[in-house]
């Protein structure tokens, strides 16, 4: 049994106590560093938060990394020095010797009790030292003079810090919860005085605070149409707010959120409900009782709360048709807002919730938005864009048979303004960029007494699509093709002009913002044109003069005739005067000779007649040729006069339209008259030549 058992026990207890003190001091510093780093992160985060610039996940992650770096530094400086030390009984003995001013007896006694002590010197002297120390340790307090000041100092700081943190958590538990969630990089917001209870985009609820917190769900809006943001606010009600709207195409912009007057809004909803649903409770004012100013005021209120503009709302209110689809859509949108507002208003609360609205005139790109009211705001939410259907019409015109070879240059098949021949048949196909539910062709009435005629399209199958909408391999075929059956409508046999509209409804229940509007007019089938001329105006009674004929028409000539009226000598008149009725004869033009033109006498005499094959169409028009009129059949004599009128009848599958040329007068004479006419012509020609020479030489000019 060792004589120094008591001393060794005291030194072991001292060693354990010092180790606990070191650990407590070191870990207290670590705990203090953790708490103050968390407090620093909290105050930085909440400061930016309430300045309206909340730290995003990346910024908070950076703060956490900096906090960890700070914590590692604090651990190395204030914690590590107190950890990792191993002390022995000899170390404790040396410490006690210093504290009590004892020489090295304690250390020597401990060493002399070891097994190796016999080898060091006199055993008697060693035992004497051991006995001395054994007597000494009965009154020795090994803990005397050992300082715990650093330990208690750090424990005090730790206690104060813990008290501060516990107090803050107890006073602001919701802030503490939000901070812990935000440390985990959650997007939760700190509590605010203003509470955004609900957010609606075009009447569809995207946020309900109790379900979604501050993160609205994604919304969908229609391309090219307005977007209405409605926000229901509770708590501390601000006077105004804003919607921060971000779009890739148009950049960032702010939309002001304005408060809605509850009474005025309720009156409008009641009025529209009673108008569309007659069985509803009677409103304060019915739609039909509104004055012009009241109607304009109601239109402005509705336009601010719905996706329709003021002009369209005014038009719907003025019409007052309870079955008007625009009025029905307006009522549904306002009812969504009223239903969202009413439950919150009916609940018992210190303050009634307030509705704020903002309106984007036109959505052009998929976008995102943030709602800000008072000290509250939502997380950024997206608005995806639903495209409107894109419609391309394609007309196929079946012209009457008589015009099919006319080469009339038909218009673009996609043109909405069309000009067709009377009696034509129109087939219509439309291609859509989206699957459709329905498509209609409405023929507008020309007068108020008539009603519009509506015809439905039918969806084409694959074979019909290939037939009516052929697509090259290099092009993408349309999503759908719909066909209009013209049977039983004005399209089957166009007899007059009309106006029309094309409207569709796609799978998303969206229609064209403005129907495709066009008109069909009749393209005039002009009467035929025919003219004639004679080389000689004076001929013998038995001559066969050539009447040069030129005729043309838009589509075809069914026949040509030569009408001859004979006036005897005493009835002869000069050209231009009215000719009294006389003997008439008609000669159908069956054969035409090539025009003489610059042919010589021999070539002209050798011409052969060409049989005219009616109807004349296409490249056969315009027709030109010489008709030989045999005067020997008319029993003429010198002094008679022949009036010639050419007639052309066009080809249009039914009794054609006739046109006549200007009359040509032909004088009948004998050989002396022919010679006199030639001499007179020669004399006039000579006079014209002489006059020309004098002008060229300047003879006879007066200075």
Q: Give one DSSP letter per residue of 511-540, joined into a string.
A: B-SS-EEEEEEEEP-PPPEEEEEES-SEE-
Q: Residue 173: how many CB atoms within 10 A of its CB?
A: 11
What integer pLDDT is reported at residue 20 of this predicted model? 76
Residues 279 and 281: their CA atoms lie apart, in Å, by 7
What integer pLDDT is reported at residue 663 of this predicted model? 92
Residues 82 and 205: their CA atoms lie apart, in Å, by 59
> How is 108-150 classified by DSSP, letter by letter?
HHHHHTSGGGGGTS-HHHHHHHHHHHHHHGGG--TTTT---HH
Judged against a pLDDT cut of 60, whether residue 541 lies above it is answered with yes
The stretch 463-480 carries a mean pLDDT of 81
Residue 653 burial (C-beta neighbours within 10 Å; 0-12, 13-18, 19+): middle
Q: Determine the 3-state secondary structure of 584 from DSSP.
A: strand
What contacts 584, CB < 8 A, 6 or more positions away? 563, 564, 565, 566
Nearest Cα to 351, choosing from 235, 196, 210?
235
| Stretch (H or E) spanning 702 | none
Q: Determine the 3-state secondary structure of 397 from DSSP.
A: strand
Residue 349 burial (C-beta neighbours within 10 Å; 0-12, 13-18, 19+): exposed
Instruction: Kindly provide the b/e burial profile for residues 483-504, where b requires at least 16 CB atoms within 10 angstroms of the residue's own CB.
Output: bbebeeebbeebeeebebbbbb
Cis peptide before 615 (omega within 30 of 0): yes
Q: Give me the residue spans of the domains in the chain.
A: 5-183, 194-386, 391-523, 529-669
What integer pLDDT is reported at residue 356 of this predicted model? 93
Residues 322 and 286: their CA atoms lie apart, in Å, by 12
The pTM for the full model equals 0.60
What integer pLDDT is reported at residue 307 of this predicted model? 82
Q: Determine the 3-state secondary structure of 549 from DSSP.
A: strand
Asked if residue 669 lies in contact with residue 540, where contact means CB atoms within 8 angstroms, the answer is yes
- Tens digits of residue pLDDT in 673-703: 677 666 655 566 666 777 777 777 765 554 4
Which region, left, alpha or beta, applies to residue 505 given φ > 0 means left and ψ of -120 to 50 means alpha? beta
Query: For all residues of the chain together, what is the average pLDDT?
Result: 80
- Tens digits of residue pLDDT in 387-400: 888 999 999 888 88
Cis peptide before 259 (omega within 30 of 0): no
Residues 289 and 306: their CA atoms lie apart, in Å, by 23
Residues 486 and 483: their CA atoms lie apart, in Å, by 9
Indicate if 529-669 has the same CATH topology as 391-523.
Answer: yes
Can you state the angle between helices 5-50 and 89-100, rounded to 10 degrees? Answer: 90
The stretch 215-241 carries a mean pLDDT of 90
- Tens digits of residue pLDDT in 5-22: 666 666 666 666 677 777
Question: Where residue 578 falls among pLDDT bands split at 50, 70, 90?
Answer: very low
| Stretch (H or E) spanning 577 | none
Residues 484 and 431: their CA atoms lie apart, in Å, by 12
Q: Determine the 3-state secondary structure of 630 from DSSP.
A: coil
Residues 576 and 582: their CA atoms lie apart, in Å, by 17
Residues 507 and 486: their CA atoms lie apart, in Å, by 25
Judged against a pLDDT cut of 80, whether residue 503 lies above it is answered with yes
Nearest Cα to 199, choosing from 89, 351, 93, 357?
357
Asked if residue 340 lies in contact with residue 196, where contact means CB atoms within 8 angstroms, the answer is no
The stretch 41-50 carries a mean pLDDT of 88
Judged against a pLDDT cut of 60, whether residue 300 lies above it is answered with yes
Name the DSSP letter for residue 699. T
Residues 261 and 516: their CA atoms lie apart, in Å, by 39
Asked if residue 220 lies in contact with residue 383, where contact means CB atoms within 8 angstroms, the answer is yes
> How is 246-286 classified by DSSP, letter by letter?
EETTTEEEEEEEEEPPHHHHHHHHHHHHHHHSTTSPPPSS-
Asked if residue 378 lies in contact with residue 192, where contact means CB atoms within 8 angstroms, the answer is no
- Tens digits of residue pLDDT in 246-281: 988 778 899 999 998 888 888 888 888 887 777 777
CATH architecture, domain defined by 529-669: Sandwich (2.60)
| Stretch (H or E) spanning 42 | helix 5-50
Q: Residue 598: how many CB atoms within 10 A of its CB?
A: 7
Residues 157 and 73: their CA atoms lie apart, in Å, by 19
- Tens digits of residue pLDDT in 166-208: 999 999 898 898 888 888 888 888 888 899 999 999 888 899 9
Asked if residue 404 lies in contact with residue 421, where contact means CB atoms within 8 angstroms, the answer is no
Residues 514 and 442: their CA atoms lie apart, in Å, by 13
Phi, psi of 436 (to 5 degrees): -110, 155
What integer pLDDT is reported at residue 649 of this predicted model? 92
Give me the CATH topology for the region 391-523: Immunoglobulin-like (2.60.40)
Asked if residue 584 lies in contact with residue 562, where contact means CB atoms within 8 angstroms, the answer is no
Residue 303 burial (C-beta neighbours within 10 Å; 0-12, 13-18, 19+): buried
Report in angstroms the alpha-carbon separations of 251 from 54, 121, 165, 220: 21, 96, 44, 19
| Stretch (H or E) spanning 484 | strand 480-484
Does residue 521 or residue 307 have the better pLDDT? 521
Total residue count of the chain as it appears in this document? 703
Does residue 95 or residue 79 have the better pLDDT? 79
Asked if residue 314 lies in contact with residue 302, where contact means CB atoms within 8 angstroms, the answer is no
Does residue 48 or residue 449 have the better pLDDT? 48
What integer pLDDT is reported at residue 114 of this predicted model? 57
Residues 336 and 542: their CA atoms lie apart, in Å, by 99
DSSP E strand boundaries for 159-247:
194-201, 204-208, 219-222, 227-235, 241-247
Asked if residue 141 lies in contact with residue 95, where contact means CB atoms within 8 angstroms, the answer is no
What integer pLDDT is reported at residue 580 of this predicted model? 45
What contacts 429, CB < 8 A, 6 or more positions away? 393, 394, 396, 460, 468, 469, 481, 482, 483, 484
Asked if residue 272 lies in contact with residue 403, where contact means CB atoms within 8 angstroms, the answer is no
Judged against a pLDDT cut of 70, whether residue 294 lies above it is answered with yes
- Tens digits of residue pLDDT in 107-153: 555 555 555 555 555 555 555 555 555 555 555 555 554 557 777 88
Q: Determine the 3-state secondary structure of 105 from DSSP.
A: helix
Judged against a pLDDT cut of 50, whether residue 581 lies above it is answered with no
Question: Where residue 576 falls among pLDDT bands split at 50, 70, 90?
Answer: very low
Asked if residue 397 lies in contact with residue 410, where contact means CB atoms within 8 angstroms, the answer is yes
Name the DSSP letter for residue 384. E
Asked if residue 230 lies in contact with residue 337, where contact means CB atoms within 8 angstroms, the answer is yes
Residues 546 and 536: their CA atoms lie apart, in Å, by 9
Question: Where residue 81 falls among pLDDT bands split at 50, 70, 90?
Answer: confident
The stretch 652-672 carries a mean pLDDT of 83
What integer pLDDT is reported at residue 676 of this predicted model? 65
Asked if residue 407 lies in contact with residue 618, where contact means CB atoms within 8 angstroms, the answer is yes
| Stretch (H or E) spanning 33 | helix 5-50
């Amino acid at each position: 049994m060792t004589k120094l058992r008591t001393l060794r026990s005291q030194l072991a207890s001292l060693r354990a106590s010092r180790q606990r003190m070191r650990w407590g001091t070191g870990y207290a510093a670590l705990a203090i560093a953790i708490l103050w780093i968390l407090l620093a992160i909290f105050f930085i985060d909440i400061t930016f938060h309430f300045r309206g610039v909340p730290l995003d996940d990346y910024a908070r992650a950076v703060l956490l990394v900096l906090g960890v770096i700070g914590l590692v530094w604090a651990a190395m400086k204030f914690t590590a020095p107190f950890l990792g030390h191993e002390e022995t009984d000899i170390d404790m003995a040396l410490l006690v010797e210093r504290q009590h001013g004892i020489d090295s007896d304690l250390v020597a006694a401990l060493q002399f009790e070891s097994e190796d002590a016999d080898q060091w010197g006199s055993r008697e002297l060693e035992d004497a030292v051991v006995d001395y120390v054994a007597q000494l340790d009965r009154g020795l307090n090994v803990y005397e003079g050992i300082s715990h000041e650093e330990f208690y100092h750090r424990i005090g700081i730790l206690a104060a810090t813990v008290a501060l943190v516990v107090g803050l958590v107890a006073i602001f538990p919701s802030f503490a919860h939000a901070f812990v969630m935000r440390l985990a990089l959650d997007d939760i917001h700190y509590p605010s005085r203003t509470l955004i209870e609900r957010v609606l985009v075009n009447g569809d609820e995207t946020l309900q605070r109790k379900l979604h917190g501050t993160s609205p769900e994604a919304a969908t809006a229609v391309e090219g149409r307005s977007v209405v943001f409605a926000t229901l606010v509770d708590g501390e009600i601000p006077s105004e707010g804003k919607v921060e709207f971000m779009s890739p195409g148009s950049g960032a912009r702010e939309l002001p959120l304005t408060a809605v007057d509850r009474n005025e809004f309720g009156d409008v909803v009641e009025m529209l409900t009673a108008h569309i649903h007659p069985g509803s409770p009677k409103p304060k004012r019915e739609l039909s009782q509104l004055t012009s100013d009241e109607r304009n005021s109601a239109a402005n209120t509705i336009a601010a709360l719905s996706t329709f503009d003021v002009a369209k709302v005014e038009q719907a209110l003025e019409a007052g048709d309870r079955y008007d689809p625009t009025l029905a859509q307006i009522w549904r949108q306002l009812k969504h807002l009223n239903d969202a507002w009413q439950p919150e208003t009916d609940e018992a609360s210190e303050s009634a919730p307030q509705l704020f609205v903002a309106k984007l005139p036109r959505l052009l790109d998929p976008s995102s938005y943030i709602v800000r009211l008072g000290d509250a705001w939502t997380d950024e939410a997206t608005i995806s864009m639903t495209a409107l259907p894109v419609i391309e019409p394609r007309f196929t015109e079946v012209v009457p048979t008589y015009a099919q070879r006319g080469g009339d240059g038909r218009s673009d098949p996609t043109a909405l303004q069309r000009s067709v021949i009377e009696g034509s048949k129109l087939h219509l196909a439309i291609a859509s960029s989206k699957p459709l539910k329905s498509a209609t062709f409405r023929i507008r009435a020309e007068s108020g007494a008539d009603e519009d005629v509506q015809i439905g399209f039918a969806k084409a199958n694959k074979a019909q699509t290939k037939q009516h909408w052929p697509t090259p391999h290099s092009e993408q075929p349309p999503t759908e093709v719909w066909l209009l059956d013209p049977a039983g409508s004005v399209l089957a046999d166009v007899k007059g002009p009309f106006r029309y509209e094309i409207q569709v409804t796609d799978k998303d229940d969206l229609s064209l913002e403005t129907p495709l509007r066009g008109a069909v007019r009749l393209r005039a089938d002009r009467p035929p044109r025919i003219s004639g001329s004679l080389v000689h105006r004076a001929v013998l009674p038995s001559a066969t003069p050539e009447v040069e004929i030129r005729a043309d028409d838009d589509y075809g000539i069914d026949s040509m005739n030569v009408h001859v009226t004979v006036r005897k000598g005493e009835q002869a008149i000069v050209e231009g005067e009215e000719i009294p009725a006389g003997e008439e004869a008609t000669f159908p033009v069956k054969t035409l000779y090539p025009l003489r033109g610059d042919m010589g006498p021999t070539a002209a005499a050798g011409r052969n007649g060409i049989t005219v094959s009616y109807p004349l169409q296409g490249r056969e028009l315009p027709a030109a040729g010489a008709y030989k009129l045999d005067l020997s059949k008319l029993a003429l004599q010198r002094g008679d006069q022949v009036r010639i009128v050419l007639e052309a009848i066009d080809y249009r599958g039914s009794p054609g339209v006739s046109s006549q040329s200007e009359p040509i007068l032909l004088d009948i004479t004998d050989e002396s008259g022919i010679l006199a006419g030639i001499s007179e012509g020669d004399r006039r020609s000579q006079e014209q030549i002489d006059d020309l020479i004098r002008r060229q030489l300047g003879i006879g000019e007066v200075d």
